[in-house]
Amino acid sequence: MAKIHVVHAHPEPRSFCTAMAHEAVRVLKERGDDVSFSDLYALEFDPVVRATDFAARADSDYLVYALEQRHAFQKNALAPDIAREVQALLSSDTLVMVFPLYWFSVPALIKGWIDRCFVSGAMYGGKRIYGRGGMAGKRAVIGVSLGGREHMFGARGIHGELAGGMLRHLLQGTLGYVGYEVLEPFFAWHIPYCSAEQRADTLVRWRDFIARIDERAPMSMPRFEGYDDIFQPIARSATS
């Protein structure tokens, strides 16, 4: 039995994207997993970084947010909404994020959740990144709904690469950076414009994706081999 945290953000509770999130929770529980669920809109989660995120400060005169995160985590002084999410992340084996694609990126609510809850000191810091990050040994996967058609993306698509391009900031620069093994993502194509039958087929595909999450292939992430202690590439000899 795995412990899985599902995080979702969509402003419409009757949306297809929200149905994806609830189906993920249902399928995972049906598998026997221990599932926690954060619907960020339902929780009225505040995405804005503030000095008041910390009940105790290392420096009350000047805010360096990452340093205050470290201090507050050590002193158990994180704001309650942050502390709840951090506990869910640290105690889970797998993170599942479900959201719509906005402007080649994540919704502001997801970005704010990351900014506030991916806590320095707990999840990353200094040389604790990628395979040495605080979330090493855990997995993460995203399920994304979008309006574009599948042929619009990829090496020859008009928009370019999706997972390895416009969402690299999330998949590598966030999830991979803190140490997660990042699984190949799921995309629900053309959702606002396709037929009810097509949406039903996509939901079946999503259910199967989630049910077989343990079989999903991981994405390639940077490795430390070939880099020195300050992450400069190690020059190869002419004979190597």
Print pLDDT tens along the chain (240 aa).
899 999 999 999 999 999 999 999 999 999 999 999 999 999 999 999 999 999 999 999 999 999 999 999 999 999 999 999 999 999 999 999 999 999 999 999 999 999 999 999 999 999 999 999 999 999 999 999 999 888 989 989 899 898 889 999 999 999 999 999 999 999 999 999 999 999 999 999 999 999 999 999 999 988 888 888 888 888 775 554
Residue 1: per-residue pLDDT: 84
Residue 168: per-residue pLDDT: 95
Predicted TM-score (pTM) of this structure: 0.94
CB 233 within 8 A of CB 227: yes
CB 79 within 8 A of CB 54: yes
Residue 237: per-residue pLDDT: 58
CB atoms inside a 10 Å sphere around CB 204: 11
Residue 239: per-residue pLDDT: 54
CB 119 within 8 A of CB 75: no
What is d(CA 114, CA 176) in angstroms, rounded to the nearest whole number?
13
- Going from the C-alpha of 88 to that of each of 59, 64, 151, 195, the distances in angstroms are 27, 25, 37, 36
Nearest to 122 by CA among 172, 169, 66, 80: 66
Amino acid 150 reads E
Q: Is 170 exposed, middle or buried (0-12, 13-18, 19+ CB in 10 A)?
A: buried
Residue 225: per-residue pLDDT: 83
Residue 34: per-residue pLDDT: 97
- What is the torsional sign of CA 128, 173, 53, 43? negative
- Bridge partners of 143, per DSSP, are 98, 186
- Fold annotation for 3-215: Rossmann fold (3.40.50)
Region at 190 (left for phi over 0; alpha for psi -120 to 50; beta for the rest) = left
